Amino acid sequence: MKEIVLKVNGMMCGGCENRVKNAVQNIDGVESVIADHNTGKVVVTTNKEVSENIIVETLEDIGYEIVKED
């Protein structure tokens, strides 16, 4: 299992959380997704090697901005 944590701009409500969860959950290898609009964090647990870039691209494709953390 691998955990990927992303900071996402644009999630404003529970509906946004569900949109993010549904989009990311459809990626092959994703085990679970937790999205929190209050913190702007998305936590993705994978059951095999899933590229963080694929998750980022999926979120950007549905209109969210990923915040790069140093």
Q: How far is CA 64 from the centre of its chain?
A: 10
Alpha-carbon torsion (55, 20, 28, 30), positive or negative: positive
What's the pLDDT at 48? 80
pLDDT, tens digit, 9 for 90 and up, residues 12-59: 999 999 999 999 999 999 999 999 999 999 999 998 889 999 999 999
What's the pLDDT at 38? 97
CATH number of the domain where residue 16 is located:
3.30.70.100
Q: Does the pLDDT of residue 70 top 60, yes or no?
A: no
What's the pLDDT at 56? 96
Q: Which domain holds residue 41?
A: 2-67
- CA-CA distance, 40 to 20, in Å (whole number)? 11
Number of independent structural domains in the chain? 1
pTM of the model: 0.91
